[in-house]
Amino acid sequence: MIIDFRSDTVTKPSPAMLDTMMKAKVGDDVFGEDTSINELEHLAAGMFGMEAALFCPSGTMTNQIAIKCHTQPGDEVICDESSHVYQYEGGGIAFNSGASVKLLYGDRGRITAEQILAAIQPDDPHRAHSSLVSLENTSNRGGGSCYEFSEILKIQSLCKEKNLAFHLDGARLWNALVAKKESPKQYGEAFDSISICLSKSLGCPVGSLLLGKKDFIKKARRIRKVFGGGMRQAGFIAAAGIYALHNNINRLSEDHLHAALIADAISKKDFIKMMLPVETNIIIFELTNTISAPQLVAKLKEYDILGYAISPVRVRLVTHLDISKEMIQKTIEVFNQL
Ligand SMILES: *Cc1c(COP(=O)(O)O)cnc(C)c1O
């Protein structure tokens, strides 16, 4: 039994999900004729109370399309230093949009309205034009930390006042919604655009959605085509998304419980110097100088437990749909022996 905590992307479609996929009604989506994709886009937009949605192969693509839609070359995007849009999308903000980035140093990936206000460029030809604020909820490098919704509302009104677009990288927004008992509609009202992943915590093999107003999604559809992301009978994978939205959201509390159980059991180990607060399904801890992160990951692998060294001293474990209670127990036993 391999216990794979490297990421919540490692899940395989369940038999029930596969069954739904095999029975999907499909068509050519470039002609707008794939009924499963249309249904998924309609379902997701409805959940968030947003006008429209666009199905894409990845969260990188939905983020990059959103940034392209919201900016002009030479503009500046305001985001946290650890953001996926900045760190892990291949320099896409510069490559795809010709925009620069204003990095803020937030608290576990979360930035405040106050920090953003101070980062907005003055109206001066020497300066880049601030045009977009991008948040990440939950924050991956922040250890699955969640925003307080009151802060999001403050940032929303600042963006309105200063005429900035407001984007959410919600790759793991579902985890935040479940952990904070929030509703998708709150988020739909707050942001101009939201990217959500189906292939992270929800257990789909592929797929992300970009949500926004009708005009915005119309423009996004054009940019998806330019980025090479127009798909044909992709309803087979959209059907997995429909299944996941109906079946795999509420169960995320189980993943959060599993993460908390591990965190509780291992945080006192003498080789762990510091652990980020565990709010959702991500555990990030820093090691003392007795063992490096790659060494600990190698040690765990001897017991068929897979983790991820996110830096020379930090290890990340992520719980997900394919991690059972038994696997959590075995992991705790192994840590107790180390
Ligand atoms: C995984 C992830 C994405 C999207 O990644 P893809 O692998 O392109 O789907 C975006 N943002 C965050 C925070 C992520 O963790």
Domain limits of the chain? 3-8+251-337, 15-247
Index of the ligand 1 atom closest to the CA of residue 208: 9
Q: What is the CATH number of domain 15-247?
A: 3.40.640.10
Find the 15 Cα to ligand 1 centroid distance in Å: 25
Ligand 1 centre distance from Cα of residue 13 (Å):
18
Which protein residues are within 6 Å of ligand 1, measured from CB? 58-60, 63, 84, 136, 140, 169, 171, 197, 200, 208
Ligand 1 mean position, distance from CA 9 (Å) = 9
* Residue written as token pair 């379902």: 43
Which H or E element spans position 3? strand 3-4
Q: What is the distance between the alpha carbons of residues 338 and 336, in angstroms, rounded to a whole number?
A: 6
pLDDT at 162: 98
The pLDDT of residue 201? 87
Ligand 1 atom 3: residue of nearest CA: 59
Beta bridge partners of 80: 104
Residue 268, pLDDT score: 85
What pTM does this model have? 0.97
What homologous superfamily does CATH list for 3-8+251-337? Answer: Aspartate Aminotransferase, domain 1 (3.90.1150.10)
Q: Which atom of ligand 1 is nearest to the CA of 57?
A: 9
Distance (Å, whole) CA 233 – CA 25: 9
pLDDT per residue, tens digit, the chain (338 aa), is: 999 999 999 999 999 999 999 999 999 999 999 999 999 999 999 999 999 999 999 999 999 999 999 999 999 999 999 999 999 999 999 999 999 999 999 999 999 999 999 999 999 999 999 999 999 999 999 999 999 999 999 999 999 999 999 999 999 999 999 999 999 999 999 999 999 999 998 999 999 999 999 999 999 999 999 999 999 999 999 999 999 999 999 999 999 999 999 999 998 899 999 999 999 999 999 999 999 999 999 999 999 999 999 999 999 999 999 999 999 999 999 999 98
CA of 194 to the centre of ligand 1 (A): 13
Distance 59 CA to ligand 1 centre (A): 5
What's residue 198's pLDDT?
98
Nearest ligand 1 atom, CA 58: 9
How far does residue 268's CA lie from ligand 1's centre (Å)?
A: 31
Protein residue with its CA nearest to atom 6 in ligand 1: 59
Radius of gyration of the chain (CA): 20
SS3 content of the chain, % helix, strand, coil (to 5): 45, 20, 40
Return the number of other C-beta atoms located less than 10 Å from residue 281's C-beta: 31
